[in-house]
A and B are shown apart, each in its own frame.
Chain A
Amino acid sequence: MNKINNVSKKELEVISEVTEQTSRRDFFKKTAAYSVSALAAASVVTPVSVSASSDIKINPEDDLNIVHEKPWSLKFGDDVTVNLYGQPSPYEHNVTRRTTQILSSGNMRASIAVTPIQDLNGIITPNGLFFNRHHGGTPTINPNEHRLMIHGLVEKPIVLTMDQLKRYPNVSRVHFLECPANGGPEWRGPQFNSIQFAKGFMSCAEWTGVYIKDILKDLGLKPEALWMLAEGIDNSHMGRTIPVDKVLDDAMIVWGQNGEALRPEQGYPIRIVVPGWEANLCVKWLCRLEFASEPFYAKEETSKYTALKHTGKAIQHFYANEVNSVVTSPCPEKPWTDLKKGDMVEIEGLAWSGMGTITTVDVSFDGGKNWVEASLKGLVLEKSWTRFSLMHEYTGKPMLLSSRASDDAGHIQPSVKNERAAVGIEGVYHRNAVHTWEVDAKGEVTNVQILS
């Protein structure tokens, strides 16, 4: 809701005033009540065109938004000193992260705000909409006083300032981050009639930082080092254990997110990104990396992030978010209620895999009995959101619309039935079963699950 707060009252008054004026003729009728200077300014802006459109005799089929001049085209807009850090249009104020009480552990400092994926385009999540889960609130860290310590089973334990860290050669990579509880409230059946809450515990950004392996070259990692603790310096002192093999592959320490500094709620000044893996491993407000020969059993990786199977055993260190997909248009927030029978419409969605690159996405109109292959669309990058698309002639008949993705690791999204068979229904985490929307005859869209 910051966006709303950031729109000054004055700005809103200007906008309201503008929208009240529906036509040039109205405008001139009203100018009598305006100050002389306002009238003068308006005259400067529109010296000639004012009388031109008054020649048009308006017919009922004419769109008044076209044949009437818009007030914003008749006066100055904001000058370049307004919003030196830019803001979305105030008309977009309903596009925000959202929260719900039941996803918090007591208070909103150990909680999650989820991303409106229904409103996103392409594969990049704007920083202000990136989903945000933390365990002790967002700290405001002074980067000049922040340090990164790397120690434990290394020949040379070091401390880096942020300036020193940023002197390492950087890389930029597009990766999604997903809370492994994305979809987790729905193991036993659909509960959220909303894509934002059913699938919005994730976002995707271009991250800029340094490969940890590039720093380790100088430190002399000892051969018995098998695990790395990553720890934050916020209230929660969140820690997670990461296997050294992943650290030496593609794990990064990042300070950049979509071209600018990390947002405070994403770990400013630095966080880890462990591409494709549970986002809680991507520790924010990172201050310490410690290498050890045994796993650390950090607090949340024991108390929370294990997936209980029907056998009574739980999967621990459940790393990669498995292949997954969801249709984003239509969805409950973006229904097909405006379509007429015979309209061509694009079915669009997101697919992602923490194990690799999306290879195919199939779409079903009958709840998964029969499938057709959709097209991938745009950039197809490893461990990144990938768009898929399928053109459809709208029939107006009810349908059960599902998507099913595959990745180059050889993994395929399971049906709800298959996933329940493999792990049961108490896992909480890593739910990646095929997602289905029920589209009714009016084009309304509802969240359902197919058990066949």
Chain B
Amino acid sequence: MYKSYHKKIVASTLFASVVFLGTACNASNDTKAAEKVVAKAAAMNTEGFTEREINAVGPANALISNSVKKTYDHNGKLSVDGGVIYPIVNGKTGAYHVNETAHKTAFNKGKTATANEQKAWDIDVMPDGTGLPEGSGSVEFGDEVYEEKCLSCHGDFGAGSGLYPRLTAGNAEEMHKTLMNQRIDAEHEDGPQRVFGSNWPYASTLWWYIKTGMPHQAPMSLTTEEVYALSAYILHINEMSIDGVEVDEDYVLDREKFLKIVMPNVDGFEPKINGPKGQDNAREYFNNPLNYGNGVRCMKDCFDGEPEVQRIAFALTDFNPPLNPAKTLPEVKEDKAAHPGQGAYEASCAVCHATDAMGAPAVGDKDAWAATMKKGLDGVLANTINGVNGMPPRGGSALSDDELKQVVDYMIGASK
């Protein structure tokens, strides 16, 4: 989604007067300070707030409410998202009545999942290699598969096309540095490049994505070798290396090498969620709203002077259907009467003529029918009645001459 409005936003900034508090950007960047913060006694980080706002909000820890329950019933720990927990009290949770007995009963529904069933559905691939099959594929073969099955959407060398995602922005290490970019004004119009090579923390996600999601119209259709080959190709166009070896045009990727891939942005994410403390790290992070922003409840004279207004610089109005508040009747579209030959066509002829897979001129294929019609209408009708090439007389149907005439008329009309 980001990429889709990327260009538009760049355009808008050139005209917009974006004020950005560059000096306040370090509000939550001090990891040592963050470690000291315990959710319940969070010291409010005041950077980015005016003196007036700080005075309005009161005590430094006013951002955290103490009047509500924020610990789980099942383990007594703080909520992982920083939110409130609503226990069942006197048969109610919040405004909802609860049948507590219903939630204390064991049910044992369903059947045990067999090993085969689990194998059939367990399609995820994790960073430690869980779910990654043995196999291999070359950059060269990946290039072939890419050209055949991926290029039409993802463009030459993964450059993207239309609104389809790019698979590379160039050298992964170089592009990784752009993640610091903020398009704050016309002089900083190069935004962060968020593609596989520069942004993703683990390559396992790439394998999983290709195997279960690509090609978009035919997921789960690629072989293990094709997925390894495409992975190798994508590493190649991101100019990446594995274990010090450049993934060049001759590279052959296999499972062992795949597990040695280290992505440039592996440490680029917070909170740290790996390992036994992963969930607790998330808990600590999200219970400090200063990590992601919060407001103050100032009521009077909250800033000096007149408000600075940023208006729409580049309006997006391509809405489908267009906005329309009117309470009117919809336009009546005339129902196109069905062609008298259509029913017989669908019952007796479409099996072969719906596509060109059977060698028959496909209905809707203008060129194929132009070629067929060189015989003239009478010729085509005669062939239909008597059979031609692989087609038996009357297409193997019991249709009368008149009915066949209507069918032919329908097929020609539908192929103009």
Contact = CB atoms under 8 A, between A and B. Distances in A.
Contacts of B318: 100-102
A98 B321 contact: yes
A367 B163 contact: no
Contacts of A188: 9, 12-13, 16, 18, 183
A411 B305 CA distance: 27
Secondary structure class of chain B's binding surface, majority of residues: loop
Nearest to A422: B293
Contacts of B199: 303, 306, 314
A67 interface: no
A333 B323 contact: yes
A45 interface: no
B307 A110 contact: no
Interface residues of A, number: 166
B71 to A, nearest CB: 10
A277 B294 CA distance: 17
Given A194-B323, A382-B94, A424-B182, A249 B74 contact: yes
A98 B320 contact: yes
A119 to B, nearest CB: 8
Interface residues of B, number: 153
Interface string B178-195: 011111100000011010
B357 interface: no
Contacts of A173: 96
A164 interface: yes
Given A197-B319, A290-B122, A306-B269, A362 B297 contact: yes
A16 B153 CA distance: 46
A334 to B, nearest CB: 7
A25 B335 CA distance: 33
A12 to B, nearest CB: 5
Q: For A185, A419, A434, which residue has the most chain B Cβ atoms within 10 angstroms?
A: A185
A341 interface: no
Nearest to A96: B321
B323 A159 contact: no
A151 interface: yes
A357 B182 contact: no
Q: For B3, B325, B328, which residue has the most chain A Cβ atoms within 10 angstroms?
A: B325
A421 interface: yes
Interface stretch (A58-66, A73-81, A228-236, A252-260): A228-236
B271 interface: yes
Contacts of B77: 245
B231 interface: no
Interface stretch (A28-36, A120-128, A317-325, A388-396): A317-325
Nearest to A320: B81
A421 to B, nearest CB: 3
A65 B182 CA distance: 58
A380 B392 CA distance: 72
Contacts of A377: none
A318 to B, nearest CB: 7
Q: For A15, A104, A249, which residue has the most chain B Cβ atoms within 10 angstroms?
A: A249
Contacts of A318: 292
A106 interface: yes
A371 B350 CA distance: 68
Given A288-B121, A452-B307, A418 B103 contact: no
A104 B4 contact: yes
Interface string B71-84: 01111010111111
Contact of A426 (B191, B271, B321, B334): B191
Contact of B27 (A16, A91, A156, A422): A422
Contacts of A317: 271, 273, 282
B181 A426 contact: yes
A214 B109 CA distance: 11
A245 B316 contact: no
A261 interface: no
A91 B327 contact: yes
Given A239-B124, A310-B25, A312-B180, A426 B80 contact: no
Q: For B27, B29, B309, which residue has the most chain A Cβ atoms within 10 angstroms?
A: B309
29 contacts: A102-B316, A103-B4, A164-B109, A185-B5, A188-B16, A190-B310, A193-B315, A218-B107, A237-B219, A237-B220, A249-B85, A277-B81, A297-B202, A299-B212, A308-B192, A310-B25, A313-B268, A315-B291, A316-B270, A322-B292, A334-B325, A356-B83, A368-B303, A370-B299, A371-B299, A382-B84, A415-B295, A417-B48, A422-B293
Ranked 10 nearest A-B pairs via Cβ: A367-B307, A421-B48, A422-B293, A410-B65, A355-B83, A169-B102, A356-B84, A106-B164, A414-B295, A412-B295
Given A105-B164, A189-B313, A426-B192, 10 more contacts: A102-B8, A188-B183, A191-B8, A193-B315, A297-B201, A298-B124, A302-B200, A400-B309, A410-B289, A411-B63
